[in-house]
Amino acid sequence: MQNTPSLIEKVSRAPKAELHVHIEGTLEPELIFKLAQRNNVPLAWPTVDDLRLAYQFTSLQSFLDIYYAGTSVLQTEDDFYEMTSAYLDNACQNGVIHAEIFFDPQSHTSRGIGFDVFIPGMIRALENAREKGISTQLIMCFLRHLPESDALKTFADSREWFSRHPEWLTGVGLDSSENGNPPEKFARVFARAKAAGLRRVAHAGEEGPVEYIWQALQLLDSERIDHGVRSLDDPDLIAHLSDTQMPLTVCPLSNVKLRVFDTMADHNLRELLQAGVNVTINSDDPAYFGGHVNANYESVIDALQLTESECYTLLENSLMSAFVDTPTREQMVARLNDFWQKTH
């Protein structure tokens, strides 16, 4: 059996991509309280410790209730800059060389905070991170619990910003409460995004049924499935995912924290890998679920006793599944190979 501690250390230092992280979900309690005080935003929790104690979730919705309360402290361009910078500092420490970051504009525009506030703040942080050797992209997510009309308006309002910053704003996604909000509800806005040349991803098969994964693939023309752990419920879907190498951006700590799996030992990540599915590991909402991307790798390596070969596959999958051009992808994989061969 492999020496798990040394394998965990090797993986933690390895070059990797993170493809499923919500920037609003990186807000640590300390920063939430700092921004709340700075912006005179009242919170329901008297102390940082009380807020941390509230992170006992029984479902996706119980998490989202606290998540949206946390976003209320974000008021100014500097707030978004500070939040994004804090995540990117952590990402660099976790060996991330490329990050594709989700953001939820409707969480902010509904509070009167416009694109002209959050986009410049986030991009300023991305530009600074480039100097540290990490490449980044932003993926704008639609909140699926809101009406289609709201998503269509959000997309229309965003077009100027996508045109102005194509190097940073590269795609659209779908997140928030899955049950009762099927992907088909957003087929028209995703069709408009595709016509505009944007990349497309969608949350599906986390709490929702396997049918939602099929809808995301067939009706949204999604190029990655975020989560997708319900795929094993349908052998035909597993065969399709394996044949097409459609990426799944799996978030292990999130899955356990939100009770998708009772324990990490119950997670089906290894089964997905053994079925030939293109699985990647990501942090989702690291401030709420117990750690950044390396903590997710560590947890599954330890609980599932992953082999060195399986760990390499997960790391390579993350780089191969990124929305980058072929030369950039080849360069990133070469960095991983060089590190992997030289590190024991």
84-119: pLDDT as tens digits: 999 999 999 999 999 999 999 999 999 999 999 999
* 322 phi/psi in degrees, rounded to 5: -75, 150
> Measuring CA to CA, which residue among 202, 108, 105 is closest to residue 154?
105
Q: Which residues pair with 240 in a beta bridge?
A: none
Flag whether 275 is in a domain: yes
pLDDT of residue 108: 97
pLDDT of residue 3: 53
- Residue ranges for the known binding site are 20, 22, 203, 284-285
Q: What is the pLDDT of residues 9-65, one digit of tens each?
A: 999 999 999 999 999 999 999 999 999 999 999 999 999 999 999 998 988 888 988
Mean confidence (pLDDT) of the chain: 96
Catalogue the active-site residues: 206
Flag whether 337 is in a domain: no
Query: Count of domains in the chain?
Result: 1
Flag whether 338 is in a domain: no
Q: What is the pLDDT of residues 316-344, one digit of tens each?
A: 999 999 999 999 999 999 999 999 999 87
What is the DSSP code (8-state) at residue 284?
A: B
Alpha-carbon distance of 33 to 37, in angstroms, equals 6
pLDDT of residue 60: 87
- Residue ranges for the known binding site for Zn(2+) are 20, 22, 203, 284
Q: Which residue range(s) make up the domain with 113?
A: 4-332
Flag whether 144 is in a domain: yes
Flag whether 341 is in a domain: no
Lowest-pLDDT choice from 59-63, 139-143, 267-271: 59-63
- Residue ranges for the known binding site for substrate are 285
pLDDT of residue 107: 96
Flag whether 344 is in a domain: no
Angle (CA) 74-143-297 rounded to 5° is 80
What CATH number corresponds to the domain at position 160?
3.20.20.140
Q: Which residues pair with 284 in a beta bridge?
A: 21
Say whether pLDDT at 217 is over 50.
Answer: yes
Residue 4: band (very low, low, confident or very high) from pLDDT cuts 50, 70, 90: low
Residue 1: band (very low, low, confident or very high) from pLDDT cuts 50, 70, 90: very low
CB 226 within 8 A of CB 201: yes
pLDDT of residue 58: 87
pLDDT of residue 81: 98
pLDDT of residue 21: 98
Alpha-carbon distance of 10 to 315, in angstroms, equals 11
CB 283 within 8 A of CB 291: yes
Q: What is the pLDDT of residues 162-205, one digit of tens each?
A: 999 999 999 999 999 999 999 999 999 999 999 999 999 999 99
